Structure 1
Amino acid sequence: MSARPEIDTTPPTWGESLPRLAVKLVVLIAIVFLSHFVIDYALSWAESLPARAEARAERLILLAIFITYALLIALPFVPGIEIAIALLVLRGPEFALPIYLATMGGLSLAFLAGRLVPIHSLKRFFLDLHLVKAAALVDRLGPMGPAQRVRELQRSLPRKHARFALRYRYVGLALLINMPGSGLIGGGGGICLMAGMSGVFTPRIALPTIAIAILPFPLFMWFAGNSGLMPWLPA
């Protein structure tokens, strides 16, 4: 039986890693600024619409707005909730269902895209940050299936928290998506992307979890708008 090859987790020098980290940071900042520009542009569309959009051109504009919103919310660190609130304020509870479906589509896209990204791509990022133990853990997790990864994480993480966090990881995913200030840790898109990359979340459970996690806000806005709890919303 051949011995397992030794894992190379030698970090690069800071002179090598800092330029790569700087490029990643610049790209991230550019995405955030571009997303804000697109959000403002989409809102200018929404503000120009009449109370009831029945013309074909107006329906196409609405469709473009919701597709844009779904794509934006799939991106890490993009506060898609801004456009969701603005659309609800502009058009009231009639937009609750489209916003829910667009949010579900965007976060599901982020999760499924994460599953296509090899977990080994995180190794270089951790090494650039000189997080040698994290890079070694990624190397060990790479060839494993979901169940094996869960067991390895339980073994590697502090015992006090590992079993609880991993056993209830889907509950944790839902709480992270709804957590105030989640934009600081990647927003809904970034959280779902990392969940997909981790390989410990299966789509048949993760996608229904996302669907339930994002339901309270549009459901509340629909109920509040139709019951008169928020009279400033359009009827």
Structure 2
Amino acid sequence: MKQRPSWRRALCWVAGFGLCVFVLHLILNWSMDFVSGMNAMSGSGAMIGLIAVSLVIYALLIATPFMPGIEVGIALLMLKGASVAPFVYLATVVGLMVAYVIGQTIPLAWLHKVFRDLRLKKACAFIDRIETTPPAERQAAQRALLPAWLAKLTIDYRYATIGLLLNVPGTFAIGGGGGILMAAGLSRLFSGWAIFVTLLVATLPVPLVVWVMGVSVLG
């Protein structure tokens, strides 16, 4: 017998998500202040450690949907110059790959329970389709539902589309890089290795330009 939705659990989910958002924004504000204050700190050994900590925080923030973690990466580039660009690039790839892996491995039954408690019936139906319908059948249904050009973008060229979305301004409204990669993992329609190669290529342009031409290109 299926468990019925619970308004008590729904309140707990909402409170939990709200607390997570609050804590993440505190971490974001703290990390921006932390990076900004790094110039006042001395000691090459200590500085390497501080940069490493900043990169780890940046990777975690960029992996989180709807978090403007890229601001930390830009701040690091602006403050530390072209020499840190390769490390920001690697942290970006790692953070986005973490988001994909989380989406791919998150228990669908647990996610269904959360959506059910929140009365999100369409989201529950989406999870049911992922669990019960093979990927090829879901792609065929998607192709039949969408216009031909949109079906090509979201099915035939889905890796290129993800790479493009990662470089287009305004994707924060659909979850930013972390949200896009987490949704890709959740869909179970993407290969992990292909996603990894896509991230290596798609996130390279800005760090490469900064590394070659200097931080002045960021304005």
Where does residue 139 of structure 1 map in the other structure? Answer: 128
- What are the equivalent positions in structure 2 for 1:167-186 lying under 5 Å apart? 167-186=156-175
- Tell me, in whole angstroms, the C-alpha distance in 2 between the residues paired with 1:132 and 1:31: 24
Q: What is the TM-score with the length of structure 1 in the denominator?
A: 0.75
1:57-136 residue pairs with structure 2 within 5 A? 57-124=46-113, 127=116, 132=121, 135-136=124-125
1:204 paired with 2:206, answer no
Could you tell me how far apart the structure 2 residues matched to 1:200 and 1:173 are?
13
Question: Structure 2: how far apart are the matches of 1:26 and 1:213?
Answer: 35
Report how far residue 36 of structure 1 moved.
3.0
Would you identify which runs of 4 or more consecutive aligned residues in structure 1 move more than 4 Å? 19-26, 50-54, 124-134
Give the total of aligned pairs. 217
1:193 is aligned to 182
- The CA distance in 1 between the partners of 2:94 and 2:135, in whole Å, is 24
1:166 aligns with 2:155: yes
Cα distance, 1:145 vs structure 2: 4.5
Residues 26/214 of structure 1: CA separation in 2 closer, same or farther (3 Å cut): farther
Pair 77,169 (structure 1): closer, same or farther in 2 beyond 3 Å? same
1:32 equivalent to 2:21? Answer yes
Work out whether residues 126 and 134 of structure 1, in 8 Å CA contact, stay in contact via their aligned partners in 2. yes
Q: Deviations over 1:138-166 (max 9, x none)?
A: 323314444344234334x3354435421
Change beyond 3 A, Cα 1:158–1:34: same
1:79–1:183: 8 Å Cα contact kept in structure 2?
yes
Does the CA contact (< 8 Å) of 1:119 and 1:198 recur in 2?
no
Unmatched 5+ stretches in structure 2: none
Give the partner amino acid of 1:217. Answer: V
Quick one: distance in 1 between partners of 2:119 and 2:14? 17
Q: Cα RMSD (Å) of the superposition?
A: 3.2
Preserved CA contact (<8 Å) 1:97 1:218: yes
- Name the counterpart of 1:214: 203
Instruction: Work out which of the two has the higher radius of gyration on C-alpha atoms and give 1 or 2.
Output: 1
| TM-score of the pair, normalised by structure 2 | 0.80
> What CA deviation, in whole Å up to 9, does each residue of 1:5-42 have, x standing for no partner?
xxx9xx96xxx56x655554444443333233223333
For 1:96, give the aligned amino acid.
Answer: A
Q: Relative to structure 2, which stretch is displaced further, 44-53 or 85-94?
A: 44-53
SS of the residue corresponding to residue 77 of structure 1 reads coil
Q: Displacement of 1:99 after TM fit? A: 0.7
Q: 1:99 to 1:139 in 2, by over 3 A?
A: same
State the identity %.
36
> Is the alpha carbon distance of 1:32 and 1:55 closer, same or farther for their aligned partners in structure 2, counting shifts above 3 Å?
same
Query: What is the letter of the counterpart of residue 109 of structure 1?
Result: V
Q: Per-residue deviation at 1:194?
A: 1.0
Segments of 5+ residues of structure 1 without an aligned counterpart are 1-7
| Residues 81-124 of structure 1: per-residue CA shift (max 9 Å, x gap) | 11111111111111111111111111101101111113455544
1:146-165 matches, cutoff 5 A: 146-155=135-144, 157-158=145-146, 160=148, 161-165=150-154
